[in-house]
Amino acid sequence: MSSRGKLIDKDARSSAEAQLFSVAAKDVLAELKRWLAFISAERRLSPKTCEAYARDVGFFLSFLTEHLGHAPKLPDLAKLLPADVRSFLAFRRANGVEARTLQRSLAAARSFVRFLEREGRGKSDALSAVRAPKVAKTLPRPLDAQSALAIADPATRSYEERAPWVLARDAAVLSLLYGAGLRIAEALSLNRSQIPAPGTADTITVTGKGNKTRMVPLIPQITQAIADYIAICPFDLPANEPAFRGEKGGPLSPRIVQLAMERMRGALGLPDSATPHALRHSFATHLLARGGDLRSIQELLGHASLATTQIYTQVDTTHLLEAYRAAHPRAR
């Protein structure tokens, strides 16, 4: 990550911590600082997860301040009842917070109280006694192979009055998402030194969630797309700095890639579900449809659990049923 990227992460984390510390009593504040250091250094959670956890616990403590009539101290946390936790979840839901975010909020608060218990600073069973809100399961919505290939082709946007290097850059990033199954953050965090020249190597090492690294194969078309971009990029690309740049020379923002996808959705007549992340779904679904085994796909995607990868078997089954209903005479 570049020095600018580190600064952005540090600023975001500092903002979340400032909000958290502003609603904490002194004894809780001391433990919060130790907890944040613990989840960052020992549990090795990503900066974005640490930021989200800090913000979630800040919301929890802010609610308790109103709920109890004063900033909660460690003994107050130990005396919490399941009804207090349910009141917090109901309050957040009433403010439009979705179930997935509520799950994370509860996980963050549980992480903090477990840390307190481990350090001998108090115990609270209330958070463990409350069941997390259920999240409606939705299947990933991949693109068909023809659309995915068109998305990663710079010629698809030839009608736009954009600099050729910008079109080549976007095509290279999108090629990594569809051709290698990378998350957008993983692709944009690649340094120049990590990207092989065409014909020199057929893999890259990617740092994913939880700072876990994995080796991902690159087909020649992807390395060539990246090489085409690098050849005409107007900025110097030092070895240890991000390979993909914005139009002013700074690290490329994920939002720029999302906007490129939005423009192509309109040009290709694709639904709103055609996002950069849908290309990763397409990578997994198309591999599975062509005989790829789940364990290999799990490793390629960097999933910690095979259960996460298994959802693509349901997507593949759904596509098969749709094809059957559309084509089989007895299905009409």
> What residues are annotated to the active site?
183, 209, 277, 280, 303, 312
Residues 182/155, Cβ–Cβ less than 8 Å = no
Cα four-point dihedral sign 212, 215, 216, 218: positive
H/E element, 215: strand 213-217
Give me 102's structure tokens: 């509520």
CA atoms within 13 A on the CB side of 25: 14
Cα 6 to Cα 17, 56, 242, 324, distances in angstroms: 16, 22, 12, 50
Cα 179 to Cα 10, 143, 145, 284, distances in angstroms: 32, 13, 11, 10
